[in-house]
């Protein structure tokens, strides 16, 4: 699973979300899962307790950057590898409306992801595989 595939997914998704003609459409959990599944990449969603703890940390950081707080329903993640074989993590936050929040797509290194989880008090086991609908 090359990082190029993950990046192409992110770029395609961001284009869909930011296209004015599609402004009323959104990328959902199922859309995220299906796009990754076709590439053989598993996706995971956080449980409610983990989502709340991550949302608290994210909103503290957003406040420092003068950004509006998030109202998250879950945090989605998918794991891949870059060309050097390093683990990368694609992260996106889903709002209460079921849509991925536009500015929450990011790709982190495994170390960055684990540091974020530790800072927010979340364990990897609090993420549940997404089976799709």
Overall number of domains in the chain: 1
CA dihedral 111, 61, 67, 88 (to 10 degrees): 10
- For the segment 69-111, what is each residue's pLDDT rounded down to a tens digit? 999 999 999 998 888 888 999 999 999 999 999 889 899 999 9
Q: Give domain status of residue 132, yes or no.
A: no
Rounded Cα distance, 37 and 131, in Å: 10
Q: Record the pTM.
A: 0.77
Q: Give domain status of residue 106, yes or no.
A: yes
Q: Give domain status of residue 128, yes or no.
A: no
pLDDT band at 132 (very low <50, low <70, confident <90, very high): low
Q: Give domain status of residue 129, yes or no.
A: no
- For the segment 23-64, what is each residue's pLDDT rounded down to a tens digit? 457 888 888 888 888 888 889 999 999 999 999 999 999 999
Q: Give domain status of residue 87, yes or no.
A: yes
Containing domain of residue 11, as a range? Answer: 3-122
Q: Give domain status of residue 131, yes or no.
A: no
Q: Give domain status of residue 73, yes or no.
A: yes
Q: Give domain status of residue 62, yes or no.
A: yes
């Amino acid at each position: 699973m090359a990082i190029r595939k993950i990046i192409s997914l992110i770029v395609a998704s961001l284009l869909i979300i930011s296209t004015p003609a599609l402004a009323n459409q959104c990328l959902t959990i199922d859309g995220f899962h299906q796009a990754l599944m076709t590439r053989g990449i598993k996706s995971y969603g956080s449980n409610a307790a983990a989502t709340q703890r991550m949302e608290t940390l994210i909103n503290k950081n957003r406040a420092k950057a003068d950004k509006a707080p998030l109202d998250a329903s879950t945090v989605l993640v998918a794991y891949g590898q870059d060309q050097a074989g390093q683990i990368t993590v694609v992260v996106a936050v889903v709002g209460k409306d079921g849509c991925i929040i536009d500015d929450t797509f990011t790709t982190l290194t495994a170390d960055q992801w684990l540091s974020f989880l530790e800072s927010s008090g979340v364990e990897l086991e609090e993420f549940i595989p997404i089976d799709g609908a």
